Chains A and B, each alone.
Chain A
Amino acid sequence: MTAALRETLGVLAAMPGVRAALAATTSDGLPAATVAAIDVDADALAAFATAVLTRTRRANASAGYGDTRHLSLDAEHGRLFVATEGELALVVLAERDVAAGLVRVALQRALRNIQ
């Protein structure tokens, strides 16, 4: 894990309401680096986030909508955010009442920082 990536994930994980921040490669769904609360299954999170991302990417490509850049999923007890550029996906798992707009901006900034 590079220092820049570690620092980036640390910043994301320190946001109020965020339970996990990880970087994963979209081709295999494996986490490359993780900063997460102890009760979060980072492997499962990375696998699920990248799988959903891959499906929606293909669907968007079929529809001619271009590259998929950001994804957010609302569930009963939490929210999932994914920002992607090329093969890299940054994933954030957060509480239900997290400030979604702030997370979105932070993810976009984080992607720029580590490119």
Chain B
Amino acid sequence: MAADRVQAWKDELARDTSSAVFLPLVDALRRMGRLDEARRYALRGLEHHPHLAGAHDALARVMADLGDEAQARDEWQFALRLDAGHQASLRGLGFLAYKRRDLATAEQLLARALHANPSDDGLATALRRVRSELRGAEQPAAVETRAVPPRVIRRTAADEARRLFAPLLGDGDRTALLLDHDGLVLAGTYLDGDGRDVAEEIGAHLSGLAEEATRALEHLGLGRWQSMLVEAQHATVGLAPGLEGSVVMVAAARDTQVGLVRRMLSQACQRAATWMGVAA
């Protein structure tokens, strides 16, 4: 259980304040949404390991989740000064650049990150997406001058969407996501085994799934699709159609009972429907 691991790491830190277990502890707390606690442990860890790139990366991820992208960027940049090829920091800065639509910088950073770890398929997908958008961006200046709502309002709305499913997920290795009919992320997060949010990559792979399923099942005389369960080596994933062609996804560690995943999926669908009704 994640909670047991967290407690074990805390105990270890109580015995030895310089222990490196603060790294997995911070990551676990962050994934559980306990961001203030994660930040405290990250800062304490940094006091003991100020020259460890991974420690700055840990704090940066927490700050990014808290919506403080400026400090997240500072921490990742500091990590790169310590280790110019630190892949997680390159990736983090790349995604920040992508979020602010600085596609050229995003492409450069993600390419460097991929160079550091060429076997990272998720990163390769993200880089392809950035390059594709970069090719399609005919008038980047127009994007920069586009009117945007106040930063604080955007952050609140984004946080609300990101945490939509948090109350359902408990403290286990679980994650949930809501995609629109084009596979674009509407709400939630989708974390890989390292706690990295791969929601956009997942969305890209599953874009058009609902339409394809609807067409094929109609042809086969099976009516509307209601849910899907996918068992992978390390996780069980549940998918179901939502409102307006959207798709709701949940994932849990492989040792989670399949019935429980199905139940989580049902609850996530209800939550997504309510949220979409409100958001509309």
Complex-state Cα separation, A60 to B190, whole angstroms: 11
Q: 18 more A-B contacts (CB under 8 A) besides A44-B216, A52-B212, A59-B201? A: A39-B221, A41-B220, A44-B219, A47-B216, A52-B228, A62-B125, A62-B201, A62-B205, A63-B122, A63-B193, A65-B251, A71-B228, A73-B227, A74-B225, A75-B222, A75-B225, A77-B222, A78-B220
Could you tell me which residues of chain A, from 61 to 80, have a CB within 8 Å of some CB in chain B? 61-78, 80
Find out whether the CB atom of B222 lies under 8 angstroms from the CB atom of A68. Answer: no
Is A109 part of the contact surface with B, judged by Cβ < 8 Å? no
Shortest CB distance B116–A (Å)? 17
Is A55 part of the contact surface with B, judged by Cβ < 8 Å? yes
A-side contacts of B13, CB under 8 Å: none
Find out whether the CB atom of A75 lies under 8 angstroms from the CB atom of B224. Answer: yes
Shortest CB distance B22–A (Å)? 23
Could you tell me which residues of chain B, from 177 to 235, have a CB within 8 Å of some CB in chain A? 190-194, 198, 201-202, 205-206, 209, 212-213, 216-217, 219-235
Complex-state Cα separation, A78 to B237, whole angstroms: 20
Could you tell me which residues of chain B, from 221 to 264, have a CB within 8 Å of some CB in chain A? 221-235, 237, 239, 251
Shortest CB distance A26–B (Å)? 14
Q: How many residues of A contact B (CB 8 A)?
A: 34
Could you tell me which residues of chain A, from 27 to 72, have a CB within 8 Å of some CB in chain B? 39-41, 44-45, 47-48, 51-52, 55-56, 58-72
Question: What would be 24 A-B contacts, judged by CB atoms less than 8 Å apart?
Answer: A41-B220, A44-B219, A47-B216, A48-B213, A51-B212, A55-B205, A55-B209, A56-B206, A56-B228, A59-B206, A63-B192, A63-B193, A64-B122, A65-B192, A66-B235, A68-B233, A73-B227, A74-B225, A75-B224, A75-B225, A76-B225, A78-B221, A78-B222, A78-B223
CB-based nearest A residue for B175: A63
Find out whether the CB atom of A63 lies under 8 angstroms from the CB atom of B194. Answer: no
B interface list, Cβ under 8 A from A? 121-122, 125, 190-194, 198, 201-202, 205-206, 209, 212-213, 216-217, 219-235, 237, 239, 251
Which of B206, B216, B237 has the most chain A CB atoms closer than 10 A to its own CB? Answer: B216
Is A93 part of the contact surface with B, judged by Cβ < 8 Å? yes
A-side contacts of B221, CB under 8 Å: 39, 77-78
Which of A39, A60, A68, A72 has the most chain B CB atoms closer than 10 A to its own CB? Answer: A60
Complex-state Cα separation, A45 to B122, whole angstroms: 29
Find out whether the CB atom of B227 lies under 8 angstroms from the CB atom of A60. Answer: no
Find out whether the CB atom of A76 lies under 8 angstroms from the CB atom of B226. Answer: yes
CB-based nearest B residue for A54: B205
Find out whether the CB atom of B217 lies under 8 angstroms from the CB atom of A67. Answer: no
Complex-state Cα separation, A47 to B77, whole angstroms: 47
Q: Which 9 A-B pairs have the closest CB atoms?
A: A66-B233, A76-B223, A48-B216, A75-B222, A65-B235, A65-B232, A64-B192, A59-B205, A70-B231
Shortest CB distance B125–A (Å)? 6
B-side contacts of A56, CB under 8 Å: 205-206, 228, 230, 237, 239
